Amino acid sequence: MRRILRATIAVSLAGLAITFYLGSGGLQTLTTVEAKSLPGTATLSGTVDSSKPFQAGQVYIRNLDKQMLYMVYTSAGRFQAVNLFPGNYELSVRAKGLESDVQKLTLKAGENGPAKLSMRESGHDPSRNPDLEYRSFEEIYPPGPGLEVAKRTCIACHGPSFLSARAWNAEQWNAALDLMAGSGGTLGAMIQPKDLPPQDRETLLAYLVKNFGPGNKLRAVTVTREMPVEESKISKAMYIEYYLAKDPPGQGVNAAEYASLPGNFPWSKQKRVGQDVRFDPDGNVWLTDRGYPMRVVKLNPRTGERKDYVVPEPTNGIHDLAVDKNGMVWFGEHRGTSGTAVKHLNMLNPKTEKWEARYPLDPEGVLKSPQKWAQSIAIDSKGNVYVGWIGGGGLSRWDRETKKMTAYNTPGFNPSVYGVVADKNDNAWMAQWRDGKITKFDPKTSKFTQYAPPTQPALIRRLNVDSKNNIWFGIFSAGKLVKFDQAAEKMTEYTIPHENSQPYDVVEDSAGNIWIADAGQGGTLLKFNPRDQSFTYYPSPQRADKPKIQVTREGAVWYSPRSSQDYPGFGVLFPDMDKITTLAAYY
């Protein structure tokens, strides 16, 4: 049997690290690996033992100075992490049902370790939310007419664990139904009048109050078939998360005018909520923060430096953002406390740090729906800006040459528009998520064309364009990945082989893999390889959905852990840490 390694010495030579493994018998192995750390950063290696066998233990390397986390997996009980900022850390590891103590350590530039960690039985599953009880669907949802209504409305969109994680009285459930049915069930509401006639609404309300009323033990639907982890495939992966700074007393979320506002997301203990990420031309990453006051946040991933920019109207809503070729940061106003206010497209100039442009998104009042929440944003190759209306059922287009905004009502049964992207021919594509269709808008003819995947009903959230101009999207409600070949007008569906799969966003990397942000089972990243049709699961550092993913040209997958309880912020998965040449993010 091989002896346990006693020392590891790494020598960096022009980006090539040569590692000598020394056992008691002297030099045993000479391994040349590609692993290298960027100048001035630290590497950490170590070993993990445990009272029980485990696979792909998750090693948490938490930087206390910069509010950051690095996470790598163990491979045959060993781990390595590269490109760590020198400083003060906490180190721990966990695997299913196992966890270690937390060790403090200080990392200096260059090689550190080997660290030694031991896991013991923890009695809890880290993939589960400790605040919830896990039960089967049948146990949580007793049969009855109320269940049928809940299934075709709330559960279809929110998944099976949304209603059960609440304990609301009739007034609170009624308010939720009002919110979802819109004022009078108008166009653009989440629930159309025909899906919730008054009789069904009463039945549903009674069902919700009876099963998820005051005193309800908060529950989530248990997973009977877990996603398989393939240690050998993910052993070189590394996650990094950069967290949003906590606001000091009297400032930000704690300022008098915002402190009394309800958190935008009841699940978060924090009032700051990261939502969507994008890269700028200088390698920085931008994030929208949906807490009050709403902000966009700039991260320099090379240093960990973060900077907040409060938006012009800090309670009027924010969701998605986009950065144009000149580095200008754009966003459309979503849903806030000033819910009926006019929604604008806003532009931040990061050079002057000023909001320099602001355009009403529906200047002529064209949109039919009284409920107006603008959401996703896309910029085409000429710099024209598109904003979709999830509440309002429209698409707005800002023309860069004329500076004119035009709003269009989108076709369909419920035209709520979720993701928006511009394709290689400068057409805009939308996911019309309640409608189960994707829709093309041709700006030359102002014509909309809809295409439906075979699986229906289909709730579709985000969509993306690949290098060949195919459109990819997930069916959130059915766990399917779909490719739409524009030239052949052909849909191909792939079944994601996991229970409760809820694909939120999908995007191609430069090697032709499709990355999937899957909100089912707590929220994680999956890689689909279209060549052998395999799916690989990369368990994430925290349980949280990732509504938008963006891939760098080197294949790093950026996201925001949106439903994070404790750590809202930025995140990135490097599938192969040996191949990292920069921490910066470039398209």
**Chain residues that interact with ligand HEC, rule: CB under 6 A:** 153-154, 156-158, 176-177, 179-180, 190-191, 266, 335, 434
CB-based contact 371:392 (threshold 8 Å): yes
Which one, 69 or 417, has the nearer CB to ligand HEC?
A: 417
Q: Which residue has the tokens 């919830």?
A: 132
Which one, 504 or 570, has the nearer CB to ligand HEC?
A: 504
Q: Which residue has the tokens 């014509």?
A: 447
d(CA 132, CA 122): 17
Distance of CA 155 to the CA centre of its chain: 20
Give Cα separations from 71 to 18, 36, 68, 304 (angstroms): 23, 17, 10, 16
CB-based contact 383:397 (threshold 8 Å): no
d(CA 558, CA 251): 29
Q: Specify burial of residue 327 (Cβ count, 10 A radius: 0-12, 13-18, 19+).
A: middle
Which one, 157 or 584, has the nearer CB to ligand HEC?
A: 157
CB-based contact 268:565 (threshold 8 Å): yes
Which one, 278 or 434, has the nearer CB to ligand HEC?
A: 434
d(CA 130, CA 128): 6
Closest CA relative to residue 316, chosen from 251, 360, 259: 360
Instruction: Quote the least distance from Cβ 375 to ligand HEC, whole Å.
Output: 8
Which one, 162 or 494, has the nearer CB to ligand HEC?
A: 162
Which one, 110 or 263, has the nearer CB to ligand HEC?
A: 263
Instruction: Quote the least distance from Cβ 321 to ligand HEC, whole Å.
Output: 15
Region of 123 on the Ramachandran plot (φ > 0 left; ψ -120 to 50 alpha; else beta): left
Q: How many helices (H) and strands (E) does the chain have?
A: 7, 41
Query: Who's near 123: CB < 8 A, 6+ residues apart?
Result: 97
Query: Closest-CB residue for ligand HEC?
Result: 154
Instruction: Quote the least distance from Cβ 465 to ligand HEC, whole Å.
Output: 23
CB-based contact 244:274 (threshold 8 Å): yes
CB-based contact 157:190 (threshold 8 Å): yes
d(CA 329, CA 580): 27
d(CA 338, CA 573): 36
State the DSSP string of 512-546.
S-EEEEE-GGG-EEEEEETTTTEEEEE--SS----
Which one, 153 or 564, has the nearer CB to ligand HEC?
A: 153
d(CA 480, CA 498): 10
Instruction: Quote the least distance from Cβ 275 to ligand HEC, whole Å.
Output: 8
Instruction: Tell me the residue type at 257.
Output: E
Instruction: Quote the least distance from Cβ 200 to ligand HEC, whole Å.
Output: 10
Which one, 164 or 470, has the nearer CB to ligand HEC?
A: 164
Instruction: Quote the least distance from Cβ 552 to ligand HEC, whole Å.
Output: 26
d(CA 560, CA 503): 15
Instruction: Quote the least distance from Cβ 267 to ligand HEC, whole Å.
Output: 7
Which one, 190 or 585, has the nearer CB to ligand HEC?
A: 190
Q: Which residue has the tokens 């938006």?
A: 311
Which one, 140 or 154, has the nearer CB to ligand HEC?
A: 154
CB-based contact 291:264 (threshold 8 Å): yes
Which one, 110 or 411, has the nearer CB to ligand HEC?
A: 411
Which one, 147 or 176, has the nearer CB to ligand HEC?
A: 176
Instruction: Tell me the residue type at 296.
Output: V
Instruction: Quote the least distance from Cβ 343 to ligand HEC, whole Å.
Output: 14
Instruction: Quote the least distance from Cβ 540 to ligand HEC, whole Å.
Output: 20
Instruction: Quote the least distance from Cβ 287 to ligand HEC, whole Å.
Output: 15
Instruction: Quote the least distance from Cβ 574 to ligand HEC, whole Å.
Output: 28
Which one, 151 or 246, has the nearer CB to ligand HEC?
A: 151
The encoded tokens of residue 392 equal 């309002």
Instruction: Quote the least distance from Cβ 337 to ligand HEC, whole Å.
Output: 13
What stretch of H or E contains 483? strand 480-485
The encoded tokens of residue 301 equal 């991933």
Instruction: Quote the least distance from Cβ 279 to ligand HEC, whole Å.
Output: 23
CB-based contact 389:376 (threshold 8 Å): no
Determine the length of the chain. 587
